[in-house]
Amino acid sequence: MTTFTPLQSLFGGLLIGFSTLLMIRLLGKIAGISGIVGQLWSAPKGDRAWRAAFVLGLVLSPLLYALLAPLPQTQIMASTPWLIVSGLLVGFGTRLGSGCTSGHGVCGLSRLSLRSLVATLTFMAVAMLVVWLVRHVLVAG
């Protein structure tokens, strides 16, 4: 980590928490990205508009941000095949775990869901294990 941005991180976390609160209070829906995107086309017609608006907001947010300030520099160190395999594994994991990090980690934990606690601890443990394996076993070997 080369830069620490506590104010931006706090503001981003507050926005995520507030938007999650609005989703549950106004729509009675959980702000889990995998569920929202995964059911975008299969949901009943009356349930598609808010899903589409949510996904559109995810796509447009960085573009709007770029109008106000330069986007942070990013560097992807993985190859395209690794990114494809990783994306497929994440998709498989969200189906297997009945949700993603946003659904379980943000929404589920705030509702004191035991299932979400177990899922989030599993996400974190597997992520740490994979990083360790990739950095110390695969690269070193």
Which pLDDT tens digit goes with each residue over 49-78?
A: 999 999 999 999 989 989 998 888 888 888
**Cα 41–chain centre separation:** 20
CA torsion 12-18-24-27 (nearest 10°) is -100
User: CA–CA separation, 21 vs 30, rounded Å?
Assistant: 9
6-37 pLDDT tens trace: 888 899 889 988 988 898 899 888 888 888 88
Place of tokens 């609160």: 21
User: CA–CA separation, 29 vs 40, rounded Å?
Assistant: 13
Of 84, 88, 96, 98, the closest CA to residue 35 belongs to 98
